[in-house]
Chains A and B, each alone.
Chain A
Amino acid sequence: MNHLSNDELNELIDGRLTNSKKEQVLGHLQQCPLCSSAYRQFVIIDRGARRQPLETTNIMFVENVMRKLIPDASQKQHSRFERILKYCANLFALLIVAFMAYGVYSLGSHFIPGAKPIIPQIVGSSDLSTVRDAIGGWWSSSSALVQKYLTTLAPNGRLPLWVYGLWSIIMIVVIEKIAGKRIRHVSPLR
């Protein structure tokens, strides 16, 4: 008598035999104690293997996964705080740019023949020019080259408005890049 092969027994266990083949195999099992015994061994171990316990994850696992997908409340608060900080930094940058622009303009007007300093005009006194020169003195040498171009650019002592605008934008972008923190989180579904 030919015994059943391992493949036949396995396919019988997995229910993958055709009906005719299954009848043939079952018929053989009824007549052959050896194959029947082997089949029983397979079945018992197969059922045991199906009852294996599952490993369980850390209790915080789901939370950890979800936290990476959705920023939690504290993160959201932190982001709002960061945004306020960023706006303040931008405002501060704008002020700095305005002061610097004004400083260059004033200094430019000092070097440009015929141009009038604007601060004394505002406060009604020319004494401020001394203070301005004292403050501006430390950078006057390094800005001499700049002044040369400014003179060309602003023959009447006034820079065109677009220069101030462009300068402000450049400064804001630079400060934004350096000081502004971008809020990063995993974007839902990218």
Chain B
Amino acid sequence: MIQSDRELIAEIQSGKIESFRILVERHKDRAFTLAVRLLKQRADAEEALQDAFLRAFQGLEDFRGDAKFNTWLYRILYNVCMTRLGRAKPEAEQYSFQEEEREEFTMQIATGDSLPDELLEQNEFITLISREIDQMPEHYRLILTLYYIEELSYEEMSDVLQLPLGTIKTHLFRGRTLLRSIVIEKYYPEVKTV
């Protein structure tokens, strides 16, 4: 029977430290993907993740289960990565859109065909999406990773990044729109957007 994170945490809190191994196994790859997306270097990302797990373990005593374990872990990891990048946690203002950027995100409606469903069967398509997200500005990269890889809800992303829900929504929508424009313009110019 697969134990839930909550059950494992209860075991750890009662002294069964080995249960933490299962938590690490369960969450390491998704969390590592987030760390790599933020830090860009795999070695740095692995150190940051190890640090985050150790901090999470030390903080488990006070973990009350108000948030899910993965959300809590990502928040710790995000803070560790920001510290490693040598800057304070980005403030909401840093995420605000510049006027010149705004124009990029006006409504774009495709005039031609849509992308074919078969693309989803091609690994190259998935790889290029991943690569393009990797090259996007940090705030979009971060939001799109939390949404698509970590599968967090708007509320959970707001909790991890300590940003208002409206800001999260705005960045997600704009990041997604930017991704769509880049992918189509770069790789599928025959499917034009206006």
Contact = CB atoms under 8 A, between A and B. Distances in A.
Interface of A: 3, 5-7, 10, 14, 16, 34-38, 40-42, 44-58, 61-62, 64-66, 68-70, 186, 188-190
Contact of B110 (A38, A47, A61): A38
Interface string B167-178: 000001100110
Nearest to B12: A189
Nearest to A6: B177
A189 B133 contact: no
B13 A10 contact: no
B115 A49 contact: no
Interface string B46-65: 10011001100110110000
A163 to B, nearest CB: 46
A41 B20 contact: no
Interface residues of B, number: 60
Nearest 6 A-B pairs (CB), nearest first? Answer: A40-B114, A37-B110, A49-B148, A44-B115, A10-B173, A55-B33
A34 B111 contact: yes
B61 A6 contact: no
A33 B114 CA distance: 10
26 contacts: A6-B108, A6-B173, A10-B177, A37-B110, A37-B111, A38-B193, A41-B114, A42-B176, A45-B129, A48-B120, A48-B126, A49-B144, A52-B126, A53-B127, A53-B130, A54-B33, A57-B29, A57-B49, A61-B46, A62-B24, A62-B28, A64-B50, A65-B24, A66-B21, A69-B17, A69-B57
Nearest to A63: B21
B42 interface: yes
Given A44-B114, A44-B120, A66-B24, 5 more contacts: A38-B110, A44-B117, A54-B29, A62-B28, A190-B61
B179 A49 contact: yes
A38 B109 contact: yes
Among B105, B111, B120, find the residue whose CB has the most chain A CB atoms closer than 10 A: B120
Contacts of A57: 28-29, 32, 46, 49
A24 B191 CA distance: 26
